[in-house]
Chain A
Amino acid sequence: MPPSSLRGNAIALGLLGVAVLLAFGLGRFPVGPAELARLVWAGLTGQPSGLSPQIEAVIWNIRGPRVVAAVLCGAALAVAGTAFQGLFRNPLVSPDILGASSGAALGAVVGIYFSLGLFAIQLAAFTGGLVAVGAVYAIGSTIRRGDPVLALVLTGVVVGSLLGAGIGLVKYWADPYNQLPAMTFWLLGSLAGTARPDLVPLLGPVLLGTAVLVALRWRMNVMSLPEEEARALGLDTGPLRIAIVAAATLVTAASVAAAGIIGWVGLVVPHLARFLVGPDFGKLLPTAALLGAGYLLIIDTLARTAAPVETPLGILTAVIGTPFFIWLLASARGGWS
């Protein structure tokens, strides 16, 4: 079947719809589609919904914010992964290739180590991600040999492992009874405890970064050609690369700050999206965002309901992502779709 954007978006949207219904319908306080519809209607008209205050509180203050956060983080990671895979002309690249996740992680564990508040920890994570990618970009640009894209990726790998050493050191220093569990939990990724005020610092950067990428969608196609060809076709590749890296890093850092480190989503989802609609970024970005949102929401619902205690998101995405990726490697023939 040839990729068609209409069918692809229908599938992605359907998945997201199912994911939302499951997310509300499962858990200690199940909220069915009818109750959900009544609540939305009540919200629109200002009429009382007739639901118990307890259920309303669950939806507005606990389940709802968590669902929105999962949708935003999933979409953000998928969009960033799509952008980075195109920019680095490599379908095995994930959003943390330039150190966004390790930088954010270091920021967060330092925040936890100094017993900062939740918001300050998120801010430290967000800043850490941006600073790490900025440093990688600055160092990578000074390397004048060979392909600038390769120089950037290799710098990212090296700086990432240095940041990893930093994370290890802070964990080693940390109080093993109070701080270490919090750090470990954060490093494995979780949306437990997401409240409504957490959504604002997530929504702003994700919308801004995604808007930039959508605006540059045609140029991103050309940027996925070899550097010299893109320039011969009229692209000023240097500034464009900075804009794309900045936008993708912004959405990644916001997502990591809100939910901790969730691997694999940004790597796997772009492949699924390309499989559905093909590699044209104008079509790919919206489909990847929808798929990523639905995918992470299903994972988060699993994380919350599969076991008596919450399972970290990063564990689940790895358990599902690894076999999928091995299958992808084994079945890829004659280039990536």
Chain B
Amino acid sequence: MSLSAADLAYGYPERRIGRDIGLDLKAGEVLALLGPNGGGKTTLLKTLLGLLPPHGGTLTLDGRPLAALSVNQRARALGYVPQAHAGTFAFTVFLVVLMGRTAHGGLLAAPSSHDREVARAMLERLGIAKLAQRPYTQISGGERQLVLIARALAQEPAYVILDEPTASLDFGNQGKVMSQIRQLAAEGLGVLFTTHDPNQALAHADRVMLLREGEAIATGAAAAMLTPERLAELYGVAIETVQGTDGRVAFLPG
């Protein structure tokens, strides 16, 4: 069971962003997509979600071509956590999470009581149940990120794909989000997230793909991939390594 890409070329209809992507996201593992800004990470995520048609190569979900699935089937398998935005209308947090249930109802259906239960359970799970009746437009960026994760989990997907889930978060909220990501993998979901922080990838991902200018320069186990040499190649700057007494390392730019 996996979300797999082979020889994948991707981009927007009029502009190719990247090519030669081979990727395999298995149930129960965390894969980090690491690379500099503008390296094509978000575009690749949208392609993996089926939101952008691939320019070439194959893309399969549990062995079936992703393009053969309906929008609805895809939404029940792949949960998407976009970068948090303020939104236009002041929907309550509960309603935003409930929108995650859309793919489980019919065309004309409103959410059922079961859908409401699932939404409530996801709010509980992320520790934001007290926000349920607050307008989504008036909560903090960190809270919004947690709400969007709750919404993706309400889809009850097999894989969760997160776009820079900690980009706008303070230190404490970063920790919360990352421990949720580990927890999801422990429960058997496949998790893919993008980040531009190698330390985060090192600490929380099982495997890492290094993406620069749309091309995967290396893919493999996080500890093996994240070396000062590779990071210097990826970001184009010298990397300093800090080592703790327990052998754990962290990287500093420059």
Contacts and interface: CB of A to CB of B under 8 A. Distances in A.
A229 to B, nearest CB: 6
Interface string A299-337: 000000000000000000000000000000000001111
A337 B107 contact: no
Contacts of B199: none
Interface stretch (A46-54, A156-164, A273-281, A290-298): A273-281
A335 B137 contact: yes
B51 interface: yes
B90 A232 contact: no
B92 A228 contact: no
Interface stretch (A12-20, A58-66, A94-102, A210-218): A210-218
Interface string B192-231: 0000000000000000000000000000000000000000
B51 A145 contact: no
A224 interface: yes
Interface string B225-246: 0000000000000000000000
| B interface, size bucket | 35 or more
A232 B152 CA distance: 9
B100 A233 contact: yes
Contacts of A274: 89-90
Given A216-B108, A218-B109, A222-B102, A232 B89 contact: no
A228 B95 contact: no
Interface stretch (B1-9, B72-80, B122-130): B72-80
A229 B82 contact: yes
Given A144-B14, A218-B111, A221-B99, A231 B51 contact: yes
A279 B88 CA distance: 10
Contacts of A89: 88
Nearest to B108: A215
A225 interface: yes
A233 to B, nearest CB: 5
A144 B99 contact: no
A282 B95 CA distance: 12
Contacts of B95: 221, 280
Interface range on chain A (Cβ under 8 Å from partner): 20 to 34
Interface of A, secondary structure class, is loop
Most buried by A among B13, B89, B92: B89
B203 to A, nearest CB: 27
B169 interface: no
Contacts of A232: 49, 51, 74-75, 78, 80, 82
Nearest to B151: A233
Contacts of B105: 218
Interface string B128-139: 000001010110
A217 B91 CA distance: 14
A91 interface: yes
Given A228-B82, A232-B51, A279 B102 contact: no
Contacts of A280: 91-92, 95
A228 B76 contact: no
26 contacts: A215-B108, A216-B107, A218-B110, A218-B111, A219-B102, A225-B99, A226-B85, A231-B75, A232-B78, A233-B100, A234-B71, A234-B75, A234-B103, A235-B71, A236-B70, A236-B72, A274-B89, A274-B90, A279-B91, A280-B95, A334-B138, A335-B89, A336-B89, A336-B137, A337-B90, A337-B135
Interface of A: 2, 86, 89-91, 144-145, 215-219, 221-222, 224-226, 228-229, 231-236, 274, 278-280, 282, 334-337
Question: Which 5 pairs from chain A and chain B are nearest by CB?
Answer: A234-B103, A234-B75, A335-B137, A279-B89, A232-B80
